[in-house]
Structure 1
Amino acid sequence: MGNAQDKPPGTGGGGGRSDQATAGSGARGRAGGSAEKAQTHKASEKRVANGRENSPAGGQGQQGSPAVDTSYLDAPSGALPPHLARLKNEGNHLFKHGQFGDALEKYTHAIDGCAEAGIDSPEDLCILYSNRAACYLKDGNSTDCIQDCTKALELQPYSLKALLRRAIAYESLERYRKAYVDYKTVLQIDTGVQAAHDSVHRITKMLIEQDGPGWRENLPDIPAVPLSVQQHHREKPISVEVAQARAARAAQEEVRKKEACFTLLKREGNDLVKKGHFQEALQKYNECLSLKSDECALYTNRAICFLKLNHFEEAKQDCDSALQLEPSNKKAFYRRALAYKGLQDYLSASSDLQEVLQLDPNVREAEQELEVVTGLLRQSLMDSSAHTPRV
């Protein structure tokens, strides 16, 4: 299960669901031992053991319908016996599919089952309480979420998810000092929890507004997380979901850095062009294109550098690339015309300049250049005719 963080602060959290018939609320989940609850529990276990609870809500599928994959129920789960492990796995499955009330019931049955079987596995019980707390949090029941997280933390004092969920619940109840302490404790264990960083920053502003400059004096003590716990957390194998989330964040950060570098290089290139440092600008645009090769403006900008350095063939090629990206780019047509002029291909230059004027008749530079190119074309034809022997 992932960290349940999508309840915004201040959405409240009083009582649990009023229509939960099984031991779903904190009081009923902890009362233990009534004959009715035991009977319900055994019936539920029997249905799970017989493999009949195959629908997402835990009901029996219709006869003749396609078989539903329930292999996830048999996944190993710590030190829990198979029938309790199946309850926990089914709760995880239901939670993942947004059925928080049904998931809560499964976790409650598993917790009660541990008590009845005399199972003393702090790690497994901590996970069950923390998972049920996530269900309470999703349902807006912040009070019971805090109780379950506190129980989980009594079993495993530095459980990251229990701390984070309790912090969110405290914040939703506007108990900002306690939320602040839990978020800071989370960051001692794992500095990479961005949600905790964001929340600490947000709550700090609230506490300053509430208590003034001496807001820290009113905070409860923040526990010092032992180095051994921090080291154990760093060495602990991460789940597939966490690995995917970290990879996604790393990819986003890489894109952000790449975009920032690209913007800086492009700005530096443009500034160098304005100063007339075309060779240096050329290098900046080369670096830009290595980061983003589909930016039309880079090709037209680099074409300026090539033109100024009398590299007409390279300028033409850059304008060709720009026109492949934007077939009606006026700058690309105009600068390719200048490249053709430098290559003494006056007919192609004239064609590109006419294309510019067709796209925008108000480009004065294109009109002037067309007059020059037309004169050069006429002169080249006359020279060619003069050097052609009469037959």
Structure 2
Amino acid sequence: MGNTQEKPPGGGGGGRLDTATAGSGTRSRDTGSTEKTQSQTAPEKGFANGTQRQNSPAGGKEEQGRPAVDTSYLDAPAGSLPPHLARLKNEGNHLFKHGQFGDALEKYTQAIDGCAEAGTDSPEDLCILYSNRAACYLKDGNSVDCIQDCTKALELQPYSLKPLLRRAMAYESLERYRRAYVDYKTVLQLDTGIQAAHDSIHRLTKMLIEQDGPEWREKLPEIPVVPLSVQQQHREKPISIELAQARAARAAQEEARRKEARFTLLKREGNDLVKRGHFQEALEKYNECLILKPDECALYTNRAICFLKQSRFEEAKHDCDSALQLEPGNKKAFYRRALAYKGLQDYLSASTDLQEVLQLDPNVREAEQELEVVTGLLRQSLMDNAAHTPRVKDLNALTHLMKT
């Protein structure tokens, strides 16, 4: 407890770093993403096993037969920082990206000190530098210094999302759960879509109840109310492509989860209604299921039962046809279509489907019994029509049945 070297929950670091681009003032809103300039997206040819090679004096030509290191990312714009400080920040971002947190920390420190020496007064840029250095501290398990840098960043730019989230993680790693809870709550006022903050609130609530009892809320520090203007300003900021994609993926997963849960519930309710003999209500449940999953074979065979029980034989046959298109060897579909044909007095087609069932599984006793009944009905039908000119098809069928 209280160990400043303890690793923060979830791996620490608060994700990737903050960046800012000159002329746009746009930063990534995602706590786990970084905007990349065009030069930063190029492959890093000058790294082998995490070690940077020496830059060539020619700035891009090969030296001694080795490819030159691409250092163009160093000259990428960085907010309103002067070029020499922008290079320090960009190099820090590059080192952080490659897991060299100690070296990145040194670059951010040099940039922070350089701002003071140069008289640079840009709260936004300084806030980013302190927040990025805090991410390095957090990755290295130095939660105390992480908190200090996040607090400085928030003094420069109140209600900045990443410093709040990183400070919350640092507080939690030091078991200062009340302050962590407050920061996570503040984060969610700015962006309700940060799942890590929701998960942390849920986890910390349990810890605080265990630690402080039923009156745990009364022992919390005051949770600041983020002004509506700040919330609106945050919502209007452009988001990174990575964040937009991540949010879309999470939304799709959540929608699929809700859809699957709804489907499972409706299908179970339909099956229970069939067992109780409430076929119209069951049919309505299966209709809703088919809207969610129109390619679910079992729904068609289940709904066919409801149609059969209501003597809606044509609709039952249609559902069995649909099931057999999805699963050509489905015994239930053949059997229930045979019952539908029987209800439509198409005994020859019913006999054919029942024989198909028995060919698929000779042990289906119901199909054997039903085939005997249908065969008798077909014989009777053919005999009743004997006075008329029988069709060749029916004569052949009758001849076949007389031999069985």
More displaced 10-residue stretch of structure 1: 152-161 or 101-110: 101-110
1:311-350 aligned at under 5 Å gives the runs: 311-350=312-351
Q: Is residue 50 of structure 2 the alignment partner of residue 59 of structure 1?
A: no
Cα distance between partner residues in 2 of 1:173 and 1:389:
93
Counterpart in the other structure of 1:40 = none
Contact 2:300 2:320 in 1 (8 A): yes
Pairs aligned (count): 348
Contact 2:46 2:67 in 1 (8 A): no
Q: For residues 216-272 of structure 1, what are the alpha-carbon distances to aligned partners after superposition, in whole Å with 9 as ceiling and x for unaligned? A: 444333333333323322333323233223222322232233233333433444354
Q: Is residue 187 of structure 2 the alignment partner of residue 193 of structure 1?
A: no
Query: 1:159: how far off?
Result: 1.3
Cα distance between partner residues in 2 of 1:288 and 1:12:
54
Counterpart in the other structure of 2:166 = 165
Q: Is residue 5 of structure 2 the alignment partner of residue 14 of structure 1?
A: yes
Cα distance between partner residues in 2 of 1:315 and 1:198:
48
Cα distance between partner residues in 2 of 1:251 and 1:138:
31
Contact 1:54 1:70 in 2 (8 A): no
Counterpart in the other structure of 1:379 = 380
Counterpart in the other structure of 1:352 = 353
Counterpart in the other structure of 1:250 = 251
Per the alignment, do residues 284 and 132 of structure 1 end up closer, same or farther by CA in structure 2, a change over 3 Å counting? Answer: same
Q: For residues 115-167 of structure 1, what are the alpha-carbon distances to aligned partners after superposition, in whole Å with 9 as ceiling and x for unaligned? A: 34332211111112212222332333323322321221222222111111111
SS at match of 1:213: coil
Cα distance between partner residues in 1 of 2:316 and 2:387:
32
Cα distance between partner residues in 2 of 1:90 and 1:204:
39
Counterpart in the other structure of 1:289 = 290
More displaced 10-residue stretch of structure 1: 222-231 or 206-215: 222-231
AA of the residue aligned to 2:185 = K
Cα distance between partner residues in 1 of 2:99 and 2:336:
58
Counterpart in the other structure of 2:303 = 302
AA of the residue aligned to 1:139 = D
Query: 1:179: how far off?
Result: 1.2
1:51-200 aligned at under 5 Å gives the runs: 55-56=46-47, 57=50, 58-60=52-54, 73-96=74-97, 98-200=99-201
Query: 1:168: how far off?
Result: 0.8
1:253-272 aligned at under 5 Å gives the runs: 253-272=254-273
Contact 1:75 1:89 in 2 (8 A): yes
More displaced 10-residue stretch of structure 1: 55-64 or 183-192: 55-64
Q: RMSD of aligned C-alpha atoms?
A: 3.5
Structure with bigger helix share is 1
More displaced 10-residue stretch of structure 1: 304-313 or 150-159: 304-313
Counterpart in the other structure of 1:7 = none
Counterpart in the other structure of 1:43 = none
Counterpart in the other structure of 1:221 = 222
Cα distance between partner residues in 2 of 1:302 and 1:69:
65
Per the alignment, do residues 220 and 351 of structure 1 end up closer, same or farther by CA in structure 2, a change over 3 Å counting? Answer: same
Cα distance between partner residues in 2 of 1:68 and 1:293:
55
Cα distance between partner residues in 1 of 2:79 and 2:185:
29
Counterpart in the other structure of 2:207 = 206
Per the alignment, do residues 311 and 269 of structure 1 end up closer, same or farther by CA in structure 2, a change over 3 Å counting? Answer: same
Identity %: 85
Cα distance between partner residues in 1 of 2:339 and 2:66:
72
Per the alignment, do residues 296 and 130 of structure 1 end up closer, same or farther by CA in structure 2, a change over 3 Å counting? Answer: same
Contact 2:5 2:140 in 1 (8 A): no
Contact 2:335 2:353 in 1 (8 A): yes
Cα distance between partner residues in 2 of 1:347 and 1:293:
30
Identify unmatched segments of 5+ residues in structure 2: 8-38, 56-61, 392-404
Contact 1:15 1:143 in 2 (8 A): no
Q: For residues 333-361 of structure 1, what are the alpha-carbon distances to aligned partners after superposition, in whole Å with 9 as ceiling and x for unaligned? A: 21122123234343432333234334444
Per the alignment, do residues 15 and 144 of structure 1 end up closer, same or farther by CA in structure 2, a change over 3 Å counting? Answer: farther
Contact 2:46 2:68 in 1 (8 A): no
AA of the residue aligned to 2:83 = P
Contact 1:91 1:107 in 2 (8 A): yes
Per the alignment, do residues 389 and 182 of structure 1 end up closer, same or farther by CA in structure 2, a change over 3 Å counting? Answer: closer
Cα distance between partner residues in 1 of 2:100 and 2:383:
86
Cα distance between partner residues in 2 of 1:69 and 1:316:
69
Contact 2:92 2:108 in 1 (8 A): yes
Query: 1:386: how far off?
Result: 5.3
Contact 2:184 2:200 in 1 (8 A): yes
Cα distance between partner residues in 2 of 1:200 and 1:316:
54
Query: 1:276: how far off?
Result: 4.4
Cα distance between partner residues in 2 of 1:365 and 1:340:
16
Cα distance between partner residues in 2 of 1:370 and 1:11:
80
